[in-house]
Amino acid sequence: MSNARDMINAHLFPVLGLIATASSVSIALSLRPIAEQSTRWNTCYTDSLAWYEANKPDWTIQDKEVFASNFCNGGVPVKPGAGFQLAR
């Protein structure tokens, strides 16, 4: 019995280290698509803000930010102002 216990104790730390390493790599690989989507969204948002700055100078900053965020999240384009009607 002592021999089996000594063998388990001798290999426990390397096995747990291997499991922890594999888990960390798995988590890092699963976060990559989220990071890529965040990069695409940030690019869309900054490009949309630049477009609104150039084409809608009379809109407030808050309107530009709201509409850029709405566009990048896949929302329907709407006109700013009271009631927010659909743009046609």
Query: pLDDT tens digits for 35-45?
Result: 999 999 999 99
Its pTM stands at 0.64
Higher pLDDT, 49 or 81: 49
Exposure string of 32-50, with b = 16+ CB inside 10 Å and e = fewer, is eeeeeeeeeeeeebeebbe
Evaluated on CA atoms 21, 22, 25, 26, the torsion sign reads: negative
- The string of DSSP letters for 15-28 reads HHHHHHHHHHHHHH
